[in-house]
């Protein structure tokens, strides 16, 4: 079964029971925690908080940076894990590392074998066909030379993370001519994709622009 859980914030996984969507209880899973996107942001406090919470919950995780690795190195590093959890941060830097390392080929093979992909913010964005939504941020991210935004295309829609009501007008305008459907998430929501079936997880109704 192909399973992806795409979140707005990594806190979703530690604050909600997701065992029903995993091959076994998350406490019994081996997690590859990909922190690459955090290497190009000024404030990494969110990563520290996520590590602390995972430690409190006794999650078994190994922190991995995909930048500078090749496909063979990634296959070796990710082998034996039940969950690949891709943290948020600088989406452009993360996409650059994905392209240069061959991560897309590796992760697609793992998902086919039943490994669960969990994305958070940037980690969710790169699972989409494009990261165009990362260009809408008010934060001044280093785009790392990325001028073409195609991503891994693990799901057939785009995601906008960290939604707050004040974004509605901007998003309504930005999404008018999009080629793909946009799914909007606040930090208490996630999208579950299992064998092509899509389900909203978390609190509140689906946000419709």
Q: What is the mean pLDDT of each run of 10 residues along the chain (209 residues)?
A: 95 95 96 97 95 97 98 98 98 98 98 98 98 90 95 98 95 92 96 96 91
Q: Give 105-149 pLDDT, tens digit per residue.
A: 999 999 999 999 999 999 999 999 999 999 998 788 999 999 999
Provide the CATH topology of domain 3-202: Rossmann fold (3.40.50)
Q: Any idea of the CA torsion for 50, 205, 164, 86, to the nearest 10 degrees? A: 30
List the chain domain ranges.
3-202
Q: Whose structure tokens read 């305008």?
A: 173
The pLDDT assigned to 153 comes to 98
The pLDDT assigned to 6 comes to 98
The pLDDT assigned to 85 comes to 98
The pLDDT assigned to 164 comes to 95
Q: Judge contact between 88 and 122, C-beta under 8 A.
A: yes
Neighbouring CB atoms inside 10 A of 65's CB total 15
Three-state secondary structure call for residue 39: helix
What CA–CA distance (Å, rounded) separates 36 from 93?
A: 8
């Amino acid at each position: 079964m192909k399973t992806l859980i795409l979140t707005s914030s990594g806190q979703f996984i530690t604050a909600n029971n997701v065992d029903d969507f995993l091959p076994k209880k998350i406490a019994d899973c081996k997690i590859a925690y990909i922190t690459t996107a955090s290497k190009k942001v000024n404030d990494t406090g969110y990563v520290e908080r996520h590590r602390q919470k995972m430690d409190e919950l006794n999650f078994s995780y190994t922190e991995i940076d995909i930048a500078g690795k090749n496909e063979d190195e990634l296959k070796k590093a990710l082998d034996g894990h039940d969950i690949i959890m891709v943290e948020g941060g600088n989406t452009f830097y993360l996409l650059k590392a994905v392209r240069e390392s061959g991560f897309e080929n590796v992760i697609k093979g793992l998902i086919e074998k039943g490994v669960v992909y969990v994305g958070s913010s940037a980690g969710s964005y790169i699972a989409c066909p494009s990261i165009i939504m990362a260009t809408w941020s008010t934060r001044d991210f280093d785009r790392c030379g990325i001028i073409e935004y195609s991503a891994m295309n693990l799901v057939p829609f785009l995601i906008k993370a960290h939604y707050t009501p004040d974004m509605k007008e901007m998003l309504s305008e930005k999404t008018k001519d999009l080629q793909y459907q946009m799914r909007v998430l606040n930090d208490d929501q996630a999208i579950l994709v299992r064998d092509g079936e899509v389900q909203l997880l978390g609190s509140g109704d689906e946000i419709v622009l």
